[in-house]
């Protein structure tokens, strides 16, 4: 013990002597004196960087598919865009498992590997006429459903009603792609679509549930509670936002509250294609039925709303209200691609709750891939 103490004292003394002997920095070898940060750069030869070198798909800040990030809602923003991606991390309208507020970030993370040529659609949407941007997430207050929905509506409307750019004579609203969030967000987005296009849109609603349940079905007392992810299309139909007779649900298979649910849904103007119809019709039969409902392509104004639970939970487990017996991912992508040539003005993918996903992020990858398919068709249609 005494030996250790004496050794430590000796070391301290040696260090003190060293410091004293080299108090004059001029004697400290050839190392020049650096007085501040501004002089540090002069001491080194910095390498010349390869600015256009390969960037791995797993690197970088997570925008959707590495699209450029734009602050689209800044008043001084003059950026033009043909397709805008926004996130709506809203999940205060769920009736079972929460967590869809983390959907936008999960989908963006899952989209990192997306790039290049879509061989089924026949286009590379990232090297085309279309300018595509990721505007980030809509800022809203997640404490009041009605107020938050008004904010989402206003921000979406702000993008869709952008002023004409230099040289433009015929101003058309950009395409809007929304990352949910629970399905409640469909209502404010459809309200903004109605304002931008001056008429109702044809909604193709991919879901395990009809989402046209009246508020009284839930026996809720609060006025705010009348809006939830089980009834955005009930309100949308009542408000005249949805084209009556040419809108549809695809993939329906959940239980109902009562047998009157189907009659109410028909009265609201929707057609139903059930998941089990695939046994009789096949995938091509489902596609043919969808085309019959939509009518001519040249007259179309189509909005796609994709609840990720339309897919079987064995392939998309990360959702709040899973229902067994859904479409396979391959079937879903095929059905989406069958809409090529229609005027697709917008889409959303909702109800992705990443906390319930596998370690392999299967649901997030799938959500991003579905958006990629629709984005490719949007660009292809604009090119033609």
> Can you say which residues are annotated as belonging to the binding site for Mn(2+)?
183, 207, 209, 211, 307, 309
Residues 6+ apart with CB under 8 A from 34: 40, 43
- Which residue is associated with the tokens 């998941």? 275
CA distance 339 to 123: 15
Other Cβ atoms within 10 Å of 218 Cβ, number: 15
CA distance 89 to 42: 47
Q: What's the Cα-to-Cα distance from 152 to each of 72, 114, 181, 298, rounded to whole Å?
A: 14, 27, 11, 30
Packed helices 329-337 and 277-294: angle between N→C axes, nearest 10 degrees: 20
Tell me which DSSP letter residue 69 carries.
B
Annotated binding residues, as ranges? 183, 207, 209, 211, 307, 309
DSSP labels for 157-208? Answer: HHHHTPPPPTT-SS--PPEEEEEESSGGGHHHHHHHHHHHHSS-BEEEEE-S
Tell me the two tokens of residue 165. 């750019």
- Give which of 371, 379, 311 is closest to 340, Cα–Cα: 379
CA distance 384 to 376: 12
Tell me the two tokens of residue 101. 């507020």
Q: What's the Cα-to-Cα distance from 281 to each of 275, 278, 325, 363, rounded to whole Å?
A: 10, 5, 16, 27
Tell me which DSSP letter residue 35 carries.
-
């Amino acid at each position: 013990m005494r030996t250790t103490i004496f050794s430590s004292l000796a070391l301290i003394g040696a260090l003190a002597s060293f410091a004293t002997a080299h108090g004059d920095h001029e004697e400290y070898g050839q190392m020049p004196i650096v007085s501040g940060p501004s002089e540090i750069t002069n001491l080194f030869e910095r390498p010349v960087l390869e600015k256009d070198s390969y960037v791995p798909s797993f690197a970088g800040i997570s925008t959707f598919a590495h699209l450029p990030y734009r602050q689209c809602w800044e008043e001084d923003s003059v950026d033009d865009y043909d397709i805008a991606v926004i996130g709506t991390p809203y999940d205060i309208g769920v009736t079972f498992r929460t967590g869809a507020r983390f959907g936008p970030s999960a989908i963006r993370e899952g989209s990192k590997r997306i790039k290049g040529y879509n061989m089924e659609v026949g286009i590379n949407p990232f090297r085309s006429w279309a300018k595509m941007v990721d505007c980030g997430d809509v800022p809203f207050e997640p404490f009041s459903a009605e107020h938050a929905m008004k904010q989402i509506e206003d921000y979406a409307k702000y993008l869709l009603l952008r002023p004409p750019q230099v040289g433009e004579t015929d101003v058309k609203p950009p395409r809007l792609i929304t990352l949910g969030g629970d399905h409640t967000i469909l209502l404010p987005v459809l309200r903004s679509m109605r304002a931008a296009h001056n008429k109702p849109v044809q909604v193709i609603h991919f879901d395990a549930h009809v989402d046209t349940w009246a508020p009284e079905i839930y026996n809720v007392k609060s006025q705010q509670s009348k809006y939830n992810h089980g009834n955005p299309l009930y309100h949308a139909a009542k408000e005249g936002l949805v084209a009556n007779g040419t809108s549809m649900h695809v993939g329906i298979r959940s239980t109902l509250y009562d047998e009157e649910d189907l009659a109410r849904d028909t009265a609201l103007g929707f057609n139903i294609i059930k998941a089990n119809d695939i046994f009789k019709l096949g995938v091509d039969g489902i596609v043919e039925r969808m085309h019959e409902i939509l009518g001519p392509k040249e007259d179309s104004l189509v909005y796609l709303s994709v609840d990720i639970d339309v897919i079987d939970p064995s392939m998309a487990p990360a959702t709040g209200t899973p229902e067994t017996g859904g479409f396979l991912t391959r079937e879903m992508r095929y059905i989406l691609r069958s809409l090529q040539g229609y005027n697709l003005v917008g889409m959303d993918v909702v109800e992705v709750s990443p906390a319930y996903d596998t370690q392999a992020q299967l649901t997030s990858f799938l959500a991003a891939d579905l958006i990629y398919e629709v984005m490719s068709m949007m660009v292809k249609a604009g090119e033609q």
